[in-house]
């Protein structure tokens, strides 16, 4: 069946379902109330709505959308208000009626708790036969709160695509790679930020895109596969003096003992590196040839882990699965550096003293990000919760 045919079929099913529900309410509820009043049956949760989908007291944003769900956000474990925060909405057939949504999710809308503000969102992957992944920027999530919410609307066959992907990521994100494209040797690892820094896949092929923690990831072979984050550009971010920087990535390592680079920029005089070595996550900076390093024990090759390195005006902090592991005070700004950056290998000399290219990562990388700021421990913990599907609670479908 063509996409147009499937769209018509889904539209028909959604309209008929809604009609049957309304007919049922019109016919059954008065009868139910009469029987209950006569004492023939006892009241149940039906009328209160706790037994199934109902319309809550929150005003409907736009009647052109037939369905919605409340998404409740749990920031109770963090003492910081989270501003302009990207939340991962993970959908499946138990969390959304795919038959009521346009085939690519074009009619999805996310509305703030004020009932009117349309929130920016990006669909990373839409998969009606399984899980879909959508990023939504929430203006503020209050500290120590588990009652904040946004509303997800869908079910409008006439709606255009509502995505605004670049606005999901605040101005401090320099690079956001979801690693969900098939690599083919070009600048095909796409950046979602407003000033895109697409990556050039090197020695990679389409089969290196694999199922991962969040949709798809990239499986690097530890031999010669890596990603050039500059592509054909020469970006100042990778060469200018550096005072604040945050690196994030999900990995599933095939080897933790070997010397491997996840990300590096600069060289043996001034630079920044996150990698693995001797069963540790290694985070290092170098300034004027002087090196500061933090090591976090790491041996697991069976599961996905969230690796974060934060450089804050001379202080290095390493996070593993959102928990701060190691910290060392070094020096302030890293001086300007001319070496080439690398994702999944060292492109040339680097901050831990390697004098040549190599040190390829062996494993899967996913959701790789660089920020030109210090992401706080609360921010990192909330991101970990969001990407592990413990931050959002999905309400019943309302219509």
Distance (Å, rounded) from C-alpha 16 to C-alpha 85?
Answer: 38
pLDDT at site 9: 53
Dihedrals φ, ψ of 221, to 5°? -90, -5
pLDDT at site 201: 97
Distance (Å, rounded) from C-alpha 344 to C-alpha 224?
Answer: 9
The string of DSSP letters for 306-318 reads EEEEEEETTEEEE
Asked if residue 29 lies in contact with residue 37, where contact means CB atoms within 8 angstroms, the answer is no
Distance (Å, rounded) from C-alpha 117 to C-alpha 264?
Answer: 39
Distance (Å, rounded) from C-alpha 261 to C-alpha 299?
Answer: 16
Give me the residues of the chain with pLDDT under 70, please. Answer: 1-55, 231-232, 330
pLDDT at site 6: 52
pLDDT at site 339: 87
Query: What's the token pair of residue 114?
Result: 């004020």
Query: What's the token pair of residue 172?
Result: 């401090």
pTM of the model: 0.88
The string of DSSP letters for 267-290 reads -SSSEEEEEE-SSEEEEEEEETTE
pLDDT digits (tens, 9 = 90+) for 266-316: 998 999 999 999 999 999 999 998 899 999 999 999 999 999 999 999 999
Dihedrals φ, ψ of 270, to 5°? -130, 135
């Amino acid at each position: 069946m063509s996409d147009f045919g499937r769209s018509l079929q889904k539209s028909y099913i959604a309209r008929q379902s809604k009609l049957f529900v309304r007919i049922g309410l019109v016919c059954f509820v008065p009868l139910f109330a009469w029987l209950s009043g006569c004492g023939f049956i006892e009241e149940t949760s039906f009328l209160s709505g706790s037994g199934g989908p109902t319309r809550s007291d929150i005003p409907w944003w736009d009647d052109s959308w037939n369905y919605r769900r409340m998404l409740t956000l749990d920031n109770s474990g963090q003492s910081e208000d989270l501003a302009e925060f990207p939340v991962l909405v993970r959908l499946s057939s138990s969390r959304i009626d795919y038959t009521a949504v346009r085939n690519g999710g074009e009619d999805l809308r996310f509305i703030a708790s004020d009932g009117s503000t349309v929130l920016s969102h990006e669909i990373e992957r839409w998969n009606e036969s399984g899980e879909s992944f959508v990023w939504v920027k929430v203006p503020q999530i209050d500290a120590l709160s588990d009652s904040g919410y946004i509303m997800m609307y869908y079910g409008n066959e006439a709606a255009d695509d509502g995505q605004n992907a670049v606005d999901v990521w605040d101005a401090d994100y320099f690079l956001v790679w979801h690693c969900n494209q098939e690599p083919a040797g070009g600048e095909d690892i796409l950046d979602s930020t407003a000033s895109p820094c697409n990556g050039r896949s090197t020695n990679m092929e389409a089969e290196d895109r694999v199922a991962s923690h969040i949709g798809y990831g990239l499986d690097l072979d530890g031999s010669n596969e890596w990603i050039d984050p500059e592509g054909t550009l020469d970006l100042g971010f990778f060469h200018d003096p550096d005072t604040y920087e945050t690196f994030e990535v999900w990995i599933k390592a095939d080897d933790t003992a070997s010397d491997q680079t996840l990300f590096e920029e600069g060289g043996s005089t001034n630079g920044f590196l996150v990698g693995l070595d001797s069963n540790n996550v290694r985070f290092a900076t170098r300034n004027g040839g002087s090196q500061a390093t933090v090591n976090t024990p790491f041996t697991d090759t069976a599961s996905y882990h969230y690796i974060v390195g934060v450089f804050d005006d001379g202080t290095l902090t390493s996070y593993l699965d959102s928990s701060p592991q190691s910290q060392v005070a070094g020096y302030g700004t890293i001086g300007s550096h001319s070496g080439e950056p690398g994702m999944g290998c060292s492109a040339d000399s680097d901050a831990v003293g390697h004098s040549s290219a190599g040190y390829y990562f062996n494993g899967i990388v996913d959701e790789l990000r660089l920020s030109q700021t210090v992401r706080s421990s609360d921010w990192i913990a909330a991101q970990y919760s969001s990407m592990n599907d413990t931050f959002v609670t999905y309400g019943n479908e309302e219509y």
